[in-house]
Amino acid sequence: MNDLRELYQEVIFDHNRNPRNFGKLEAANRHAEGFNPLCGDELTLYMIVDKSGIIADIRFEGHGCAISKASASIMTETLKGKSVADAHAYFDSFHAMATGDDDIDTELPDAEKLEVLSGVRSYPARVKCATLAWHTARAAIDGGSDPVTTE
Ligand code: ZN
């Protein structure tokens, strides 16, 4: 278990140092802003959702702690190429894992990557850091224009 924790931490550090899909997406047709006042994490999420409801591209920018940045980075990797309907299923599974004792739903393709963030459930103050990107993604998909706050 300790080895696993260490491995998870390495993955989180790597995504924090070298976030995937980082930057503005000029052609985005969905976007949302998220803010976690508890920690000061802020991010803007951009998506291109095509006519068939597939997330053709997804990017984020912003600043925050390692957990929030790593979570956003891993989320964009996971959701790229998935349908918006699937994105809701990933959201539900991730949320259940981060806030409770549920394991990630491994029936969802690539979802096992998200397990690296399961450790946050032991640290209530970090749960919002990990879920911020997901709440923001859901807001972008649902087309809300108000910024998302975890409070
Ligand atoms: Zn944070």
pLDDT of residue 147: 76
For the chain, give every domain's residue range: 2-144
Q: How far is the CA of 71 from the centre of ligand 1 (A)?
A: 10
Compute the distance from residue 111 Cα to the ligand 1 centre, in Å.
Answer: 22
Q: CA dihedral defined by 96, 100, 102, 108, rounded to 10 degrees?
A: 20
In this structure, are residues 65 and 41 in contact, taking their beta carbons and an 8 Å threshold? yes
Q: What is the Å distance from ligand 1's center to 127 Cα?
A: 8
Give the Å distance between the CA of 78 and the centre of ligand 1.
20
**147 φ, ψ (degrees, to nearest 5):** -60, 145
**How far is it, in rounded angstroms, from Cα 137 to Cα 144?**
10
* CATH class, range 2-144: alpha beta
Q: State residue 5's pLDDT score.
A: 80
Regions of the chain where pLDDT drops below 70: 1-2, 144-145
Rounded distance from Cα 51 to ligand 1 centre (Å):
34
